[in-house]
Structure 1
């Protein structure tokens, strides 16, 4: 069976020769069956294989097909929720444990890249840009809070005048430069994890959809993968496979464009080649590619159908930030689906003692999903304390459950999107 082609994107066009993997072709027995070959599943498979387990990964499409191969490529520090919010939600001690795990998640990505020689254009620096005047004050307070209460010294406040020097836009009131953040080629990172898995003896089957899961394994159209443990790592592409946890996440679509190569204009836009994300509810996020393109992400949609003209859809927010790019050609435009949770905290847990899952990274997937795989491997091996630190966080379902959640989401998202437009 021929592996399906990746959806067109700048990432797919510059992928490091993705190795096609065969489809599943019959019954087999392994220690662990992982469903999904994104960051969560690949990290889990790799860490499990390093512990000596036999592992099979089932992927309905291609390695890194979902958000792992289409996202903005921004490697953050910590979680989607800021520490002050986590402290109010969970208490100081629990929030501190999450902070430590967040720092570890970032370090883990870097460690895997270095250990397995993953060529994914890792570059340092993440700049948080204040969209409103009040956001600048909040960001400055956050830098001071993290330095005082968590000893974090890798970020600094950037006043408005310096922001204009760092980013060629008049839109921002200030910002925070996080030297602990970074950016990378997300699909090549996923492909690098897959190569590391294969080198450790993991079997990866592409074009193989999981049809049913149970305590004894996973059924596919080609046969049964019998396993002592099953890992669900589907994120936004869980679909109808497991309705017991589908209501806790909401799939939403994000969109990115890649301009034509900009030559000298590229570093005029972003002086220090850091990645940038703003403070809007529906955020803009962007960075430069190694060949001098602007990769700009902006806008969301909440229906199963993507806009017919993605380039035109994203061009509007891009020109709000960089009106000087009116004459620039868009060479690539693509969309992808990620999963959010109500509280923007990932959803970890067990459906049975031997069926584990992690999803709902809410836009912080590169580092947290990679960490999730490591924590799943620990839990399978009987060391579940760190996995449970996340699994015990209350994660409510979206109102309306799996089928009726979209109307409420759309209304809420439109409300917050409207607030983004207010001064």
Structure 2
């Protein structure tokens, strides 16, 4: 059953955060406090020698990059990136180089992208959307180049999307999502378990609400009802838990992850993070040292530019959505099938940079926070009495067309929330 549409609503952002995402700053030192380039923030509070070391430390942490198909070699200057952005974030279940804490690496038979998220930033940098693709979503996989350059993998008509990383690496996952969505994706990043730990530590933890106790023996996630600030291993366990939330499925895990992600965005946009050079440096260091980045993203200028495009977007205009799907099977395997009509509506709206109005629920792994601050209702202006005669029914309509920035109401089969929506994880009892 669908809920009442939660139309996009414009809210005032923190007044301590300046709003110039697309304008070049005259003072590069002040700019350093506004984006994830932590090394530049250190420049403000230390001497040139320390700042130079910090900058080198971040840059030298970047791992060897992955080349995507048809990459644009141009690197932006340090300012908000021009135009829209499409970036794919992949969470790998690989245990390689992760020790034995998450399982025996010698028993791993493949590397799966159990988390696949597409970030789209609008052309004018006033809205953003993150679409999560269920790991068991059956999709066509296009012909993919082999990571070692020795040839290509054949195209497949229907496979689970989380197999793409094992077939052809990050580049194959990008090609698959491009084919599925019709969007060009020039930026991509892959993160493993230790990377999630490092990033959550860098921001100083993320506050999450738990509506019902979470008990998951598989990931060792045990959280009582209430509010928790999670970082390190606890944050990773929370993001990995599937059996402990919702209906125990990957779909419940996605909505549970969106509880964390929306809170993370609120944390990142807060003055406590933007104004703390130590946190900014830690975020840049963690991202550079714990992610496998595409060639275009493995550059400090690019990372800074993308972050600057995001930093001033109002919370109610940052949406976290689940790719529309329904349980089904393909080739004798159980999984989820795409709902093509709903997906087409979603990505048509994304390509047109339309604001989005979510009408579906938040998902089976989360519920609305009952203690969330009440919304302030806008006073309704009294209607002006009709003073003109009714129009001739046979005359052409003079009703104005919808405004260009009017929100597109998504079908209720698309679940999700905005970063402004306060939600709680729903335990699987």
Give the alignment's TM-score, normalised by structure 2. 0.28
TM-score, length of structure 1 as denominator length: 0.29
Larger Rg: 2
The structure richer in strand per residue is: 1
Q: Please identify which structure carries the higher helix content.
A: 1
